[in-house]
Amino acid sequence: MVPVSYYIVLSAVLFSLGIVGFLFKRNIITMFMSIELMLNAVNLAFVAFGRSLGQLQGQVFVFFVIVVAAAEAAVGLAIVILIQRNRKTLNVERVNLLKL
Amino acid sequence: MMVLFFALAAIAVAGAVSLIYQKEPIHSALSLIIVMVALAGLYLLLGAEFISAVQIIVYAGAIMVLFVFVIMLLNAGNEERTNFSRMAAYIGLPLAVILGAGLVYFVSRGSQEVANPDAVTGTTRPLAMMLFKDYVFPFELTSILILIAILGAVVLARREGD
């Protein structure tokens, strides 16, 4: 059997890669996908901990995380479409109306 | 078991690296689908069949199709580089590496106990019991959240004057 800490290490690696993607990418859609990657990493940690504790609450939590991620993707992509329509770009650095 | 874990973990990490490396958003989206399928396999290894199926159907199926749909709708091509992303490389990358190394270090110092072998298996029925008995109120709340998200998406993406 695989030790639980292996799963948690994999989860940490995926989460860090998500952060790197969020920092590096300038395309708003790819930044969005990096956030989804981080959510997936957290889900893996939830399931692994739930398994190691012999409880199902972890999986219930993952279920709710997936539902919220779906809602977030729907609203977020609608905002992306609005940004593209109003500013004719997907580069986040050109969406700087609130910047000093 | 161990071989399967390392194979799936390698696929997941390779997909995540590819997500960052690719220039075209559509390639990044396909890489993310690879990560999600690998994670579904890992959920199977952990004995979470229902979550594994939901991962494929909802994440790799619905959410990523939404992403691909928007990418094609907006005709998103190569992304341009600017000076500010170089600043992210000089400051952000070391910070992210430190965070990742620290997480891996402290987590791997923890107990090496094997995943509980007599954990609940065949989890769909007990999961449904728990979801509709103990967590029925949050479950209903999420349905309201979904409704609000649908309304918000429709209102936001609607053209002016329609």
Q: Supply the pLDDT for residue B27.
A: 92
| pLDDT > 90: percent of chain A | 47
Q: Last residue of a domain, which of B76, B99, B129?
A: B76
Top-level class of domain A4-94: mainly alpha
pLDDT in tens, A57-95: 889 999 999 999 999 999 999 999 998 888 888 888 788
pLDDT in tens, B61-104: 899 999 999 999 888 777 666 666 677 777 777 888 888 888 88
Give domain status of residue B112, yes or no.
no
Question: Structurally, how many domains does chain B consist of?
Answer: 2
CB contact under 8 A, B76 and A78: no
Domain spans, chain A: 4-94
Q: Supply the pLDDT for residue B9.
A: 94
Specify the 3-state DSSP secondary structure of A27.
Answer: strand
Residue A17 in contact with partner chain B when CB distance is under 8 A: yes
Q: Supply the pLDDT for residue A18.
A: 92
∠ CA A64-A66-A69, rounded to 5°: 110
Give domain status of residue B101, yes or no.
no
Specify the 3-state DSSP secondary structure of B23.
Answer: coil
Among B68-82, B91-105, B111-125, B142-156, the least confident range: B111-125
| ipTM of predicted assembly, 2 dp | 0.91
Whether the CB-CB separation of B79 and A34 falls below 8 Å is answered with no
Instruction: Indicate left, alpha or beta for A54 from its phi (over 0: left) and psi (-120 to 50: alpha).
Output: left
Q: Which residues of A touch B10 (CB under 8 A)?
A: none
Among A55-69, B18-32, B47-61, B106-120, the least confident range: B106-120
Give domain status of residue B128, yes or no.
yes
Specify the 3-state DSSP secondary structure of A96.
Answer: coil
The yes-or-no verdict on residue A43 having pLDDT over 90 is yes
Which of B79, B108, B130 minimises the CB distance to A9? B108
Domain of residue B5: give its range. 1-76
Size of interface A-B (CB pairs under 8 A): 240
Mean pLDDT to the nearest integer, A26-34:
90
Whether the CB-CB separation of B149 and A74 falls below 8 Å is answered with yes
Specify the 3-state DSSP secondary structure of A91.
Answer: strand
| pLDDT > 90: percent of chain B | 49
> What are the distances in angstroms from CA B62 to CA A2, A40, B65, B154?
31, 15, 5, 17
Interface test with chain B among A17, A28, A87, by most B beta carbons within 10 Å: A17
CB contact under 8 A, A3 and B112: yes
First-residue to last-residue Cα distance in chain A: 54
